Amino acid sequence: MGELLWYFPETIKELKEIITTSVGVVPHSGGTGLLKGDVRKYKGLVDLGRLHISNIEEKDDFVEIGAMATYGDILRYFKDKNNNALLYKSLLNAASFPLRNRITIGGSVAYFPPWTDVMGPLFALSAQVYLTGEKEGWYSILDYATNRELHKKTVVLKIRYKKDVDTGRSAHYRAKRTQIDHPAFTITLLLYVRDERVHSASFYVVGTKDKFKRLNVLEKQVIGKNVKEIDPESMSLDEVEFYGKVQFSPEYQKTLFITEVKRKLRDILETLK
Amino acid sequence: MKIDFIVNGKKVELDTNPTRRLLDVLREDLGLLGIKEGCGEGECGACAVLLDDKLVHSCLVPLANARGKEILTIEGLKNTEAYRIIQDAFLDAGSVQCGFCTPGFVMSTYALLKNNPDPKEEDIKKAISGNLCRCTGYQMIIDAIKLAAKRGEKLWKA
């Protein structure tokens, strides 16, 4: 086996060149997963640390987040600006303080570990990812998460979502044993209310057998309804299957999921009544 | 591969494998033994250092990521007023038993007070969420951080 090569591109052009022409190289951002995994399976690692892609800014109608922005950067950005932002609420309890200074949003999107706290919110916010490499341009995060072709010889450079999408009522739940535990799964609920009626909703669970699932059955039961008439307890839920994890058994996760979806929905509705 | 970075204010250049953990390089190559290895997987915080002013677990940082960056370890903090205040507060609050986790807690305390000179108890708990202590039960460490915040008020706010 040859020596593992490291690349340190300083421009997007250099990055694109490396990603499209080298075989067996993978981008490397925060590195939290790297040292836990087996790096021997790679031929090269591309350090993204010199590309200056950690900026977070409002651009036109969007909030745009550079792929190298850490969870800590995102929390610091939203802290004074909008602590009701869904990403802020979901990352506030994600991982420990030092880990938040290492885990990047781009790494979480690209690797999509089942315990990630960002994918549920990004799905709910209908986020988009900007790729460079063999495929260049903006793609919906749902497409990126489900189409492996989009991962080949590409790198996530930035993530964005429309500012007005983040104006709904939201809740995020992490199924964990202790505060800093990886969640076994996460639930993200985002709904919009006009004249006391729910006019749209976006509910996701991440960490299921199929990795993630949109809760269409539940969404249909709330859309169009007056918030005072919605009774989470009487609602039927989507069929969601879990696999056994170090934290909880599949059966326990299912019970927890049913309880917490209803509880979080009730919490949101309480704020509207 | 040659990798250069700054450790405790001094420029360092090493010809080594960039995939090595920063923790190992600091301990084995540079002899900075104040940094401890506990779990080796980013849970216990015994290996905490500041990388470009941000608290990180050095066991999860490949050396390549430190290239061109500035690292502060407990040894670099040692002869400062901030260290003296934190050390005294830990001693006075009885926050040290076996002491293995203490350097990590000191680094977390420093990182917190530098950015938040007047932390609430909740802020303190979050700031030390990446550190484990198997002796003290945490309350005395929280008390020490409150004490350090109070005693060093002028320094942290400067």
pLDDT of residue B108: 98
Structure tokens at B58: 């050095």
CA distances from A86 to A91, A92, A164, A167 (A): 9, 10, 12, 9
The nearest CA of chain A is from the CA of B54 a distance in Å of: 7
- Is residue B118 within 8 Å of residue B149, measured between CB atoms? yes
Provide CATH 1.10.150.120 ranges for chain B.
80-156
Query: Which of B18, B56, B129 faces A102 most closely, judged by CB atoms?
Result: B56
CB neighbour list of residue A22: distance below 8 Å, 6 or more residues apart: A7, A43, A44
CA atoms within 13 A on the CB side of A155: 27
pLDDT of residue A130: 98
Q: Over range B38-56, report the average pLDDT.
A: 95
Identify the closest residue of chain A to B56 by CA–CA distance: A98
* Nearest of A113, A111, A91 to residue A100 by alpha carbon: A91
Q: What is the CATH number of domain B2-73?
A: 3.10.20.30
Q: Which residues from A are below 8 Å from B54, CB to CB? A: 72, 101
CB neighbour list of residue B122: distance below 8 Å, 6 or more residues apart: none
Query: Averaged in consecutive runs of 10 residues, what is the pLDDT profile of chain A (273 residues)?
Result: 84 97 89 69 90 96 97 94 93 91 95 94 98 97 97 97 94 90 95 94 97 97 95 93 95 97 96 85
CATH superfamily of B80-156: [2Fe-2S]-binding domain (1.10.150.120)
Strand partners, A250: none
Query: Which of B62, B67, B108 faces A31 most closely, judged by CB atoms?
Result: B62
- Is residue A185 within 8 Å of residue A175, measured between CB atoms? yes
Q: What is the 3-state secondary structure (H, E, C) of chain B?
A: CEEEEEECCEEEEEECCCCCEHHHHHHHHCCCCCCCCCCCCCCCCCCEEEECCEEEEHHHCEHHHHCCCEEECHHHHCCCHHHHHHHHHHHHCCCCCCCCCHHHHHHHHHHHHHHCCCCCHHHHHHHCCCCCCCCCCCHHHHHHHHHHHHHCHHHHHC
- Work out the angle at residue A228's Cα, subtended by the Cα atoms of residues A226 and A232, and round it to the nearest 5 degrees: 95
ipTM: 0.92
pLDDT of residue A29: 86
pLDDT of residue A98: 93
Query: What is the domain partition of chain A in residue ranges?
Result: 5-47, 56-165, 168-272
Structure tokens at B158: 């400067």
Cα A269 from Cα A257, distance rounded (Å): 18
Identify the closest residue of chain A to B58 by CA–CA distance: A98
- Check CB contact under 8 Å for A31 and B43: no
- Check CB contact under 8 Å for A6 and B18: yes
Start-to-end Cα distance in chain A: 64
Provide CATH 3.10.20.30 ranges for chain B.
2-73
pLDDT tens profile A117-164: 999 999 999 999 999 999 999 999 999 999 999 999 999 999 999 999
pLDDT of residue A2: 65
Q: Over range B132-136, report the average pLDDT.
A: 92
* Nearest of B134, B138, B137, B140 to residue B126 by alpha carbon: B138
The nearest CA of chain A is from the CA of B112 a distance in Å of: 10
Q: Which residues from A are below 8 Å from B37, CB to CB? A: none
CATH superfamily of A168-272: CO dehydrogenase flavoprotein, C-terminal domain (3.30.390.50)
pTM of the predicted model, to two decimals?
0.94
pLDDT tens profile B2-40: 999 999 999 999 999 998 999 999 999 999 999 999 999
Structure tokens at B154: 């002028």
CA atoms within 13 A on the CB side of A140: 7
Q: Which residues from B are below 8 Å from A180, CB to CB? A: 43, 129-130
Query: Which of A47, A96, A102 faces B64 most closely, judged by CB atoms?
Result: A47
Q: Mutation target for B interface from A7, A28, A35: give the one with most B CBs within 10 A.
A: A35
At residue A51, the 3 state secondary structure works out as coil
CA distances from B14 to A4, A9, B17 (A): 17, 20, 9
- Check CB contact under 8 Å for A36 and B41: yes
pLDDT of residue B124: 97
Topology of the domain covering A56-165: 3.30.465
Burial of B44 (0-12, 13-18, 19+ CB in 10 A): buried
Strand partners, A131: A137, A156
The answer to whether B62 faces chain A, any CB pair under 8 Å, is: yes
